[in-house]
Amino acid sequence: MSYRYISMPVYRLIEEFSSDVNKIFEYIDAIYDRIERVENKIKAFITIIPREYMYNNVEALLKKIKSSGSAIPKLFGVMIGVKDNITTMGIRTTCGSKILENYIPPYDATVIVKLKNVGVFIHGKTNMDEFAMGSTTETSAFYPTRNPWDLNRSPGGSSGGSGAALAAGEASIALGSDTGGSIRNPAAYTMVYGLKPTYGLVSRFGLIAYASSMDQIGPMARNTTDLALLLSVISGNDPKDSTSLPIESIDYVKALDDYMYKEPRLRIGIFKELFEGSDDCVKKTVYNSVDKLCSYHDCIEISMPYTKEAVAAYYIIAMAEASSNLARFDGIRYGLKTHIDGRNWVDVYTEVRTKGFGYEVKKRIALGAYVLSMGYRDMYYIRALRFRRMLREKLGDVFNNVDAVASPTMPIPPPRLGEFFEDPLKIYLADISTVIANLSGYPAISIPAGFCNNLPVGLQLMSKPLSESILLYLSAQLEDRTKLRDIIAEV
């Protein structure tokens, strides 16, 4: 029975495939069968590569490898769901927007090139909030994605499609992007592992920018080892991205194994303000898993003022950068077109942008342009930058005493569908724990903590720049204790 392939960890899949290459096709069938069964309920994908297409791709590549006599790449045959703001050559990349509904990129993002090099296949582009602006996947121009754990709820966002695809067994691993929590939020809400790497660890080349100074691509998986495996593939310096850090990729699986073998005792800070502001049930669930870590490590309470201001600073900076990054979508070179005969370009631009962008995107462009404009930039944008510098300093002080900081990933359980539109401010404020990592550039992970009223809850750990191995170590340790791994929701 090939059903077992649906929840099988990637590190096991590659063992299976290396013993018998033909198992790849059983695996492909298992995933596609699953997609056929659940996708119309979940709507995790915007674009799905047809099954036959995938067969042909795998067969053709296998043939090529055999005839050339080269070794079969390490992750050959593994299928990944890729968030639809990551550029894929020849596969339409919509960014969840009407304005790019029919845009087929002529090039691959650096992370895609890296994945292809190790034999990973993209079988679908996952749903997301339009231009990653949102935290429920409801601002997608196409349809909202539903949470596999409760179809009336959001899977979080903006990488909600990736999280839901993993939780529903429609993908083995997935890529997300995280600007203010967009990987960790859906990871927490769908019971999967998600890591926002240190800013600059993973190349942004080919990631359609939302807020360039905070955007990071990151791995999502159903267990820590797969997360480490995927991070090893996608990380490392990229000369095409000037913000990419000048460091080579390391083998995070090996680093994780080393840590697990040595099991060093670390100091973990418990982020007081972020627990205090959380929903009771969430608080209880997260404390529970924190206790599991604290029974081994040293835990101390830490406090950081101005946490609430972080959300304001985050939104100001993100919107400012977004208003600039989204200026290029004008329908002239690519994307949504309109008739141009006898019209001047101002009219054409206006129509394309009016029709092509959704409400949330327009709102953020308008606010972003406002905070950057003369007379207001000092009051908003410059102040937000000043706050960001201060936050970094404070965080630096905190990490002089601890190796990691724990908090709930999200202070509230997964929102009901529609809740975001009723009270957007409440949903914005729920980003309080996640935005700190983006403002500071620090790495952070969301780890399944447990269920609360049958809804997934995540624990967030943040660490010092380039301490991804520490986060993976603590995640694996907790995973061993909670056994919350390789779980597929009943759909």
Catalytic (active-site) positions: 83, 158, 182
- Considering only residues 126 to 155 of the shown chain, the ones binding other proteins according to CB under 8 A are none
Q: Which residues pair with 177 in a beta bridge?
A: 217
Distance CA 471, CA 477 (A): 10
Residue pair 208/95 in contact (Cβ under 8 Å)? The answer is yes
- Considering only residues 239 to 258 of the shown chain, the ones binding other proteins according to CB under 8 A are 239-243
Q: Using the rule CB under 8 A, is 109 a contact of other proteins?
A: yes
- Site map for other proteins, 160-199, x if CB under 8 A? ----------------------------------------
- Considering only residues 406 to 465 of the shown chain, the ones binding other proteins according to CB under 8 A are none
Q: Which residues pair with 447 in a beta bridge?
A: 459
Bond before 158 cis per omega within 30 degrees: yes
Closest distance between other proteins and the C-beta of residue 232, in Å? 23
Closest distance between other proteins and the C-beta of residue 101, in Å? 13
- Site map for other proteins, 12-51, x if CB under 8 A? ----------------------------------------
Closest distance between other proteins and the C-beta of residue 93, in Å? 7
The arrangement of strands across the sheet holding 404-408 comes to 45-48, 121-126, 79-83, 173-178, 216-221, 193-196, 444-452, 455-463, 404-408, 267-271, 298-302
Closest CA to 360 of 157, 139, 48: 139
Distance CA 6, CA 420 (A): 32
Nearer to other proteins, 344 or 454 (CB): 344
Nearer to other proteins, 243 or 482 (CB): 243
One residue of 6, 86, 165, 231 binding other proteins per CB under 8 A: 86
Distance CA 367, CA 435 (A): 19
One residue of 60, 151, 300, 340 binding other proteins per CB under 8 A: 340
**In this structure, what are the phi and psi dihedrals at residue 153, rounded to the nearest 5 degrees?**
-115, 160
Nearer to other proteins, 331 or 414 (CB): 331
Region near other proteins per CB under 8 A, out of 33-41, 136-144, 183-191, 237-245: 237-245
| Rounded (5°) CA angle 81-128-44 | 50
Region near other proteins per CB under 8 A, out of 59-67, 183-191, 322-330, 471-479: 322-330
Closest distance between other proteins and the C-beta of residue 96, in Å? 12
Q: Using the rule CB under 8 A, is 105 a contact of other proteins?
A: yes
CA dihedral 314, 317, 320, 325 (to 10 degrees): -90
Nearer to other proteins, 182 or 190 (CB): 182
Closest CA to 163 of 136, 142, 143: 136
For 121, 181, 188, 353, the CA distances from 149, given in Å and listed in that order, are 27, 20, 12, 36
Q: Where are the alpha helices (DSSP H) in 223-358?
A: 224-234, 252-262, 272-276, 280-294, 307-325, 345-356
Closest distance between other proteins and the C-beta of residue 345, in Å? 5
Region near other proteins per CB under 8 A, out of 45-53, 68-76, 86-94, 300-308: 86-94
Distance CA 108, CA 88 (A): 5
One residue of 84, 330, 360, 403 binding other proteins per CB under 8 A: 330
Nearer to other proteins, 29 or 241 (CB): 241
One residue of 1, 69, 71, 106 binding other proteins per CB under 8 A: 106
Q: Using the rule CB under 8 A, is 482 a contact of other proteins?
A: no
Distance CA 160, CA 189 (A): 9
Closest distance between other proteins and the C-beta of residue 445, in Å? 24
Q: Using the rule CB under 8 A, is 322 a contact of other proteins?
A: no
Q: Using the rule CB under 8 A, is 207 a contact of other proteins?
A: yes
Residue pair 358/329 in contact (Cβ under 8 Å)? The answer is no
Nearer to other proteins, 74 or 383 (CB): 383
Length of the chain: 491
Residue pair 416/153 in contact (Cβ under 8 Å)? The answer is yes
- Site map for other proteins, 354-383, x if CB under 8 A? ---------------x--xxx--x---xx-
Residue pair 414/150 in contact (Cβ under 8 Å)? The answer is yes
Query: How many residues bind other proteins, per CB under 8 A?
Result: 48
**Residue 56 burial (10 A CB sphere; 0-12, 13-18, 19+):** exposed
Q: What residues contact 443, with CB distance under 8 A and at least 6 apart?
A: 195, 196, 197, 198, 201, 437, 462, 463, 464, 465, 466, 467, 468, 471
Region near other proteins per CB under 8 A, out of 31-39, 158-166, 184-192, 211-219: 211-219
Q: Using the rule CB under 8 A, is 212 a contact of other proteins?
A: yes
In the complex, the residues that contact other proteins under the rule CB under 8 A are 85-87, 93, 95, 100, 103, 105-107, 109, 204-209, 211-213, 239-243, 320-321, 323-324, 327-330, 332-334, 340-341, 345-346, 349, 369, 372-374, 377, 381-382
